[in-house]
């Protein structure tokens, strides 16, 4: 009986203190605060990615866009032209035309080409041809080069219209130049480019100069 009484008078464990009103409000506001921070971080990352994407798109369509290289014929110089009676080219002696050509590269990367081809025509017949060496036009620079075309006078003399044309003191000739190469921007934007130029020349026989030249250019990218 005494044992039972001792068990009955054993004190109970103290109850856990309930949260105060201030602690409860702090717990309620803690989760929304974390959520707002997470939303802000996600928004900043999204905005940064969006700005980066916009900058890349702008660069692709402006700075990194492959632009057309421009070829220009600055002039022709006639050398080694020997005439009979001051009008007809001397048979067996080839004359030469030196073409002063410029290639302007407006791109942010260099324009490399393996070689150049230039043909000279008289009334549709090829009377001269030359292949130039490979080269490179630096970024946003203009490359200037001289191309020498040897004219085969025997082909000129074989044309029945030569005597009539030479009698006027002027020979009308056509030239065709082709430059094929590639523009490589950061090894990401690679484009093959072919530049073609057709010119019509009026050669003054007596002064051995070019009186007039008209050129048309075409670029394939």
Same domain, 88 and 194: yes
Instruction: Give the per-residue pLDDT at 8.
Output: 54
Q: What's the DSSP call for residue 175? A: E
What is d(CA 104, CA 92) in angstroms, rounded to the nearest whole number? Answer: 38
**Domain of 51?**
23-62
Asked, for residue 57, whether it belongs to a domain, the answer is yes
141 and 202 assigned to the same domain: yes
Residues 84 and 111 in one domain: yes
189 and 166 share a domain? Answer: yes
Q: Domain for residue 5, yes or no?
A: no
DSSP per position, 115-146: -EEEEEEETTEEEEEEEEPPEEEPTTEEEEEE
In a domain, 165, yes or no: yes
The pLDDT of residue 29: 53
Examine the domain organization and report whether 88 and 165 are in the same domain. yes
- For residues 42 and 139, membership in a common domain is answered with no
- Judgement on whether residues 120 and 85 belong to the same structural domain of the protein: yes
| Claim to verify: residue 74 and residue 158 sit in the same structural domain | yes
CA 108, CA 86: separation in Å to the nearest integer? 51
Q: Which of 15, 39, 62 is the last residue of a domain?
A: 62
Shared domain check, 211 and 117: yes
| Structural element, H or E, at residue 48 | helix 21-61
Give me the CATH number covering residue 145.
Answer: 2.60.40.10
Whether 9 maps to a domain, the answer reads: no
Nearest residue to 104 via CA among 74, 136, 70, 135? 70
- Backbone dihedral angles phi then psi of residue 185, each to the nearest 5 degrees: -105, 110
139 and 58 within one domain = no
The beta strand positions in the chain, using DSSP E, are 70-79, 83-84, 88-89, 95-105, 111-113, 116-122, 125-132, 135-137, 141-151, 170-185, 189-204, 209-220
Tens-binned pLDDT, residue by residue, of the chain (221 aa): 444 454 555 555 555 555 455 554 555 455 566 777 888 888 888 888 888 888 877 776 676 778 888 888 888 788 877 777 766 777 777 788 888 888 889 988 888 888 888 899 999 999 998 888 888 888 889 999 888 888 888 888 889 998 898 888 888 999 999 988 888 877 777 888 898 999 999 988 888 788 888 999 888 87
* Cα distance between residue 119 and residue 155, in whole Å: 14
Q: 153 and 79: one domain?
A: yes
Number of domains in the chain: 2
What's residue 206's pLDDT? 81
Count Cα atoms within 13 angstroms, Cβ side, for 70: 9
β-strand pairing of 83-84 with 116-122? unpaired
Residue 47 in any domain: the answer is yes
Q: Are 147 and 98 in contact (CB under 8 A)?
A: yes
């Amino acid at each position: 009986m005494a044992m039972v009484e001792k068990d009955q008078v054993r004190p109970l464990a103290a109850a856990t203190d309930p949260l105060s009103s201030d602690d409860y409000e702090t717990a309620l506001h803690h989760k929304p605060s974390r959520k707002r921070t997470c939303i802000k971080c996600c928004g900043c990352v999204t905005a940064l990615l969006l700005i980066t994407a916009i900058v890349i798109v702008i660069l692709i369509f402006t700075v990194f866009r492959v632009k057309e290289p421009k070829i220009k014929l600055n002039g022709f110089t006639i050398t080694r032209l020997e005439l009979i009676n001051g009008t007809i080219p001397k048979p067996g002696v080839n004359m030469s035309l030196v073409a002063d050509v410029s290639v302007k590269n407006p791109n942010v990367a260099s324009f490399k080409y393996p070689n150049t081809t230039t043909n000279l025509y008289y009334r549709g017949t090829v009377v001269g041809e030359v292949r130039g060496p490979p080269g490179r036009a630096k970024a946003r620079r203009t490359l200037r080069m001289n191309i020498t075309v040897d004219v085969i006078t025997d082909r000129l003399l074989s044309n029945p219209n030569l005597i009539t044309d030479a009698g006027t003191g002027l020979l009308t000739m056509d030239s065709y130049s082709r430059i094929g190469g590639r523009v490589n921007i950061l090894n990401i934007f690679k484009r093959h480019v072919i530049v073609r130029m057709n010119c019509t020349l009026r050669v003054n026989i007596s002064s051995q100069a070019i009186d007039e030249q008209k050129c048309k250019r075409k670029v394939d990218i």
